[in-house]
Copies of this chain bind each other. A is one copy, B any other.
């Protein structure tokens, strides 16, 4: 194993951005990854000012991602970044990710991955061709108790799955924020930058990923009703779906950004013949288990009786709250483990290299596309 921090560059995430700083904190947390280069904004001046804010050296603080890429390709292996982290608005993901992958770099990219299935397919193909690491920051699956849920479902503790309800409700877009100059609202409600979907892309894709990651169920058909319920909004801010899964299970997926006053209420319920699981992101250290033949159990992060995957995703003893950044950091820790294994010439240990991959991102793009198609259809069921 290389005895040094991994080096990364960031694209996007400058002043006024929200999620870039979260990525940086998540990478900094464990002292295993360091920021050494960047092109932090699409505006060159803002990019460089933002780079100075985070103490980038001048010669690695770029005004655009193309010069960052060119510069890294020139550098020696002793200096060169180990990977790039792409945290721009959605429409920039594809060109940046494709260019870095094709140049042989490992990549982490925010979600939703790209705008179209064609782009997604191209990116998957490029990653497969290069054989590089490609992580997608579906950060919610980094929570230890999500990993515990996955293990309990996959090992059969719930029996045969019958019903899954996943909801992601927020209230922050309950007013016409984008008309007031709010930057986050602006790009997320703009089809040119956000893609064909609004809430379904921004948070519905998290819901889909959480459902798929934990249950492994495959959607066979879906029936969607999307609405732009705030007058004047260009993209959906509320969506509800009925789901049918291969094997016969049924599901409901709700994603809304106009659920006034609600903060970030992502919740997953999975019910099978032997029990039910219930997890809420706003209380992420708890997983409620309803076995069919005994009292409800509150499983908590940090407990010795959790599965290894959950235990290893935790940094603190139980009762010492971990949160969003730790979950995010777990995605990066998985990516880092995979990169470190490759640097050492190994295949990474699966539990260590546990992170959402480019295929997960591509499936999310398909989910968005199929949902938008269903919404436009008068037939009840739209096939996957």
Residues of A participating in the B interface, judged by any CB pair closer than 8 Å: 3-5, 18, 21-22, 24-25, 28-31, 35, 52, 54-55, 158, 162-163, 165, 167, 170-172, 174-175, 223, 225, 227, 229, 238, 240, 242, 244, 248, 250, 252, 254, 256, 258-265, 269, 271-276, 281-284, 289-292, 294-300, 302-303, 305, 315-326, 377-381
Contacts and interface: CB of A to CB of B under 8 A. Distances in A.
Nearest to A289: B295
A103 to B, nearest CB: 26
Contacts of A325: 29, 315-316, 322, 325-326
Contacts of A297: 294-298
Given A240-B242, A275-B260, A305 B316 contact: no
Contacts of A35: 31
A55 B5 contact: yes
A138 B104 CA distance: 47
Given A250-B240, A316-B22, A276 B260 contact: yes
A264 B317 contact: yes
A238 B225 CA distance: 20
Closest 5 CB pairs of A and B: A261-B290, A263-B319, A264-B319, A321-B323, A296-B298
A140 to B, nearest CB: 10
A177 to B, nearest CB: 12
Contacts of A316: 22, 323-325
Most chain B beta-carbon neighbours within 10 Å: one of A3, A170, A250, A261: A261
A315 B281 CA distance: 17
B163 A282 contact: no
A109 to B, nearest CB: 20
Most chain B beta-carbon neighbours within 10 Å: one of A229, A294, A319: A319
A240 B300 CA distance: 27
Contact of A238 (B24, B163, B238, B318): B163
Contacts of A300: 263, 295-296
Nearest to A224: B242
A254 B306 CA distance: 30
B162 A229 contact: yes
